[in-house]
Copies of this chain bind each other. A is one copy, B any other.
Amino acid sequence: MPEPIISTVDIVLLIIKDDRLCVTLSKRDKEPYVNQEALPGGYIHAQDDRDCLDAAVRILQQKTGLLPPYLEQLKTFAGAARDPRGWSISVVHFALVDADLILSATNPGLTIWPVDALRRLPFDHNEIIATAVERIRNKSQYSSLPCYLAGETFSLPRLQKIYEACLGETLNKVSFRRKMDELGVLETVAGQTESAGAHRPAQLYRLKSEFKNQLKLLVRGL
């Protein structure tokens, strides 16, 4: 028989800070775990559509003021052990955003932590973040996903650092550039370069507009 259930949405908001993959946490304003830092989340409303993507956008807007350039459903977590109040269900999403957008926005109570040096968090949020990181790692191997962590324009050396932070390993410069060329999601920003010191400046790139909201995959397969 059906039992009515309180359903929530949580969001793993990921950014790159100091060349490391980081998660953004917000201070809880309600019990349980009030004032502790946890994944931003909230209740699902009956008007939320698009498989809870609407709810995720609304909650992210509320808690961070951001409209992320990339948002994807991650997995639904449910069970009796995850919340001290009893059985619960949460449709978890992950969002990618340029770190500068967070730092420049007015974000009281938001904090940023490297995903590989996280302390014990409330609920099953450590497990959720681990799942999100696994997904990012996986997709970073063969898609343009990490581009959404890079902001409007960026150099290839910077993008390579971002890929490396996502994958947790260093990449070959030549191979990386070949693959990016093959993916075909980038275009040069005419005449623009990134000068940052006493050395050759780097060419700036941006995502082609047709890929602004769509991942490009590059699968080698069997």
Residues of A that sit less than 8 Å from B by CB: 1-7, 43-52, 73, 75-81, 86-87, 89, 91, 138, 140-142, 163, 167, 171, 175-176, 179, 219-222
Inter-subunit contact A48/B78 (CB<8 Å): yes
Shortest Cβ distance from A184 into chain B, in angstroms?
A: 14
Assess the B222–A220 pair: CB atoms within 8 A: no
B73, A52: Cβ atoms closer than 8 Å? no
Given contacts A51-B78, A81-B49, A91-B76, contact A222 B3 (CB under 8 A): no
Query: Which of A91, A163, A176 has the most CB atoms of chain B within a 10 A radius of its CB?
Result: A91
Q: A43 contacts which of B3, B47, B219 (Cβ < 8 Å)?
A: B3
Contact partner, A46, options B3, B77, B221, Cβ 8 Å:
B3
Contacts A51-B75, A79-B49, A80-B49 known; A222 to B7 CB distance under 8 Å?
Answer: no
Q: Pick the most buried of A6, A47, A79: most chain B CB atoms within 10 A of its CB.
A: A79
The one of B44, B75, B175 that contacts A222, using a Cβ cutoff of 8 Å: B175
Of the listed residues A81, A138, A163, the one surrounded by the most CB atoms of chain B closer than 10 A to its CB is A138
**Which of B52, B86, B163, B220 sits near A220, CB closer than 8 Å?**
B220
Could you tell me if B45 and A3 are in contact, using CB atoms closer than 8 angstroms? yes
| Minimum distance in angstroms from A86 CB to a CB of chain B | 8
How far is it, in angstroms, between the C-alpha of A46 and the C-alpha of B221 when the chains are bound? 41
Residue with the greatest number of chain B CB neighbours at <10 A, chosen from A4, A5, A78, A138: A78
On chain B, the residues within 8 Å of A78 by CB distance are: 44, 48-49, 51-52, 91
**What B residues does A219 contact at CB under 8 A?**
138, 141-142
User: Given A48-B78, A51-B78, A141-B222, 18 more contacts at CB 8 Å?
Assistant: A1-B43, A2-B43, A3-B46, A4-B5, A5-B5, A5-B44, A44-B89, A46-B86, A49-B78, A49-B81, A52-B76, A52-B89, A76-B76, A76-B91, A89-B91, A141-B219, A142-B222, A171-B222
